[in-house]
Amino acid sequence: MTMFNESPKPTVIRKAAIIGSGISGLTAALRLNEAGVETVLFEKSRGPGGRLASKRLADLAHGSADASADVSVDIGAQYFTVRNPSFRSFLNRYARDPDSGSETYDQWHGRLRYQASDGDWDAFHAETRYVGVPRMTAISRALAQTLDIRTGVRIERLIRPLTGQWHLNDSEGAEYGPFDAVILTVPPAQAEEIILNSHLDPLVNAFSDDIDLMQACWTVVAQYENGLGLDYEGLQPQSDVLQWAGNNSSKPGRNTSGEWWVLHGRPDWSDEHQDSPKAYVEKALLDAFSLATDTGSQPIQVHSHRWLYAKSSAKAGPGHLWFAEHQVALIGDWLSGGRVEGAFESADSLIREWKKTGDLQPRG
């Protein structure tokens, strides 16, 4: 007799559930739709994008806190690369504004520099760097426009009754399904939780080492009323606290008054201060920023955000994990060298494997 979550014979995939709508989930859904496979994405947040994130804030230098003076500041990924020609053609095809049809990303010509251990400053290596326009989430909004995404739904576990197809339970007790396969796109600690709740414990062995490789990142956004007068737009100083500072206002299409800077804490420092009060974190990062830039200006507003799972320190990875006997796959940046482009490549590699092995069956 078949029990819950045992492994009946794998079926071809006509309809897939995707947990998470960051760049990897959105890519997987679009690639599957291209292959004629139906998809439903489940996203715990209010909108798609995941760590491709922008935060809406009132522009105080504009003289008021009303909504018309709102700005969006990139608090997750700061910029991304497009080295892989498949990523370029994917963006060309899908990352277009739903209303105007124009591209939602552009080059960022920011002058970026880092401080070597001897204290000298040098320029970042030459690379074409891109950002979403007018904010990072413009890209995820464009990718999402044709997709079925259920936002505000936190998936807690997968159930596989006698039919052999998957059903999903959310944190409110609602059930969704059936699906022929499930793709988890969440960071490894969150994937472990869903997998253990689903009584699929042995699957965790394939990625348990990755869980501790995810690093936290405290992010602070600071608005300065006037420009700081620096001759660079991004820096990585020698600091025990600050890993990166970027001038968000210098990115294309931002049109903000004053200058908005985004500061990222070092991974080890952010881990250590995971539970520190926001006021402490903000002061520490702002002090480190003042020291690194030799400026005494005080910001007119400061906000902070804690990422528990920001980036993976894994250098490379298998691309994706596919447990064919369970019809469960894992994708995400942490399986493919990190970063936005890695998240795309992870999703792309899974769908290419499925196409090659004939796992997919278009709906007739």
- Could you list the residues that contact ligand FAD (CB under 6 A)? 19-25, 42-45, 50-52, 76-80, 154-155, 185-187, 190, 217, 219, 264, 307, 310-311, 332-333, 338-340, 343
Q: Report whether the peptide linkage leading into residue 188 is cis, meaning its omega lies within 30 degrees of zero.
A: no
Read off the tokens for 12: 């071809």
Q: Under 8 Å CB-to-CB from 101, ≥6 apart: which residues?
A: none
Kindly tell me which of 186 and 292 has the beta carbon lying closer to ligand FAD: 186
Kindly tell me which of 26 and 71 has the beta carbon lying closer to ligand FAD: 26
Kindly tell me which of 23 and 288 has the beta carbon lying closer to ligand FAD: 23
DSSP string for residues in 93-154? HH-B-TTT--BSEEE----EEEE-TTS-EEEPPP---EEESSSTHHHHHHHHTTS-EEET--
267 neighbors 216 (Cβ within 8 angstroms): yes
Q: Would you call 330 helix, strand, or coil by DSSP?
A: strand
How many angstroms from the chain centroid is the CA of residue 302? 23
Q: How far is the CB of 296 from ligand FAD (least distance, A)?
A: 26
Q: How far is the CB of 336 from ligand FAD (least distance, A)?
A: 8
Q: How far is the CB of 66 from ligand FAD (least distance, A)?
A: 29
Q: How far is the CB of 64 from ligand FAD (least distance, A)?
A: 29
Kindly tell me which of 172 and 294 has the beta carbon lying closer to ligand FAD: 172
Q: How far is the CB of 168 from ligand FAD (least distance, A)?
A: 9
Q: How far is the CB of 74 from ligand FAD (least distance, A)?
A: 9
Kindly tell me which of 180 and 333 has the beta carbon lying closer to ligand FAD: 333
Read off the tokens for 76: 């997750």
Q: How far is the CB of 2 from ligand FAD (least distance, A)?
A: 26
Kindly tell me which of 56 and 64 has the beta carbon lying closer to ligand FAD: 56
Separation between Cα atoms, residue 135 and residue 262, nearest integer Å = 13
Read off the tokens for 212: 């501790």
Q: Which of 30, 49, 22, 103 lies closest to 336 in space, CA to CA?
A: 22
DSSP-H helix ranges across the chain: 23-34, 85-94, 137-144, 188-197, 208-211, 267-272, 278-293, 339-357
Kindly tell me which of 51 and 251 has the beta carbon lying closer to ligand FAD: 51
